[in-house]
Amino acid sequence: MKTVLITGGARSGKSTFAQGMAAKSGKRVLFVATAQAGDEEMRRRIEDHKRSRPSSWRTLEAPTEIGARITKSIGDGQLVLVDCITLLVSNVMGEFLSPDGSEVDEAESEKAVAAEIDGLLDCLKIIEADFIIVTNEVGLGLVPDNKLGRVYRDLLGKANQVLAGAADEVYFMVAGLPMRVKP
């Protein structure tokens, strides 16, 4: 089984490339959506994303615990498309925010994100399916001006490194163009 990681900046074409790759495979696809509709704008984005996928694909909404949820829901799926790790890390971090949302328990967030990624890696080992995983590269810009932003950037960066290490192929998207990074 093959694992592909697709990374890049916002609106770089990651999801489109991932969906095209999945569609071309001809395999039965389980689409794993990590987004949560916290406001109207995000609800619209999620609906647009749903419309962009073939109706034959099954969708699993899994904002956290994706490894366990994929294992339970794989059914006859032959390819799992996870979109995206960026929101997964945000969802996990959200569990450790202060009541006003301005502070995060950094140590607990780090443990929880590592456990989430470990759960996904365990899933990759036991599920007999190909995986395409989408994530954002957030470490190329300015250093965030607040601790919460820096903690998020660092946790996502670590998660991306672990996933890239486990992946058979890694693509970096630039302006809709895939650049193969690995192998």
Listed residue (26, 43, 90) closest to 63, CA to CA: 90
Residue 181: pLDDT band with limits 50, 70, 90: very high
**What are the backbone dihedrals phi and psi of residue 113, each rounded to the nearest 5 degrees, phi first?**
-65, -45
> What is the domain range of residue 161?
3-182
Residue 155 and residue 173: Cα distance in Å, rounded?
Answer: 21
State yes or no: is 49 an active-site residue: yes
pLDDT in tens, 63-79: 999 999 999 999 999 99
Supply 152's token pair: 């998020």
Beta strands per DSSP E along 103-176: 130-134, 169-174
When pLDDT is averaged across residues 45-66 and rounded to a whole number, the result is 90
CB neighbour class for 99 (10 Å; exposed up to 12, middle 13-18, buried from 19): exposed
pLDDT value at residue 42: 85
pLDDT value at residue 159: 98
How many domains does the structure of the chain reveal? 1
Among 38-52, 69-83, 168-182, where is mean pLDDT lowest? 38-52
**Of 49, 58, 69, 158, which residue is the catalytic one?**
49
Supply 60's token pair: 């699993």
User: Can you tell me which residue has the tokens 């820096």?
Assistant: 150
Residue 83 and residue 135: Cα distance in Å, rounded?
Answer: 7
We report the CATH number of the domain holding residue 86 as 3.40.50.300
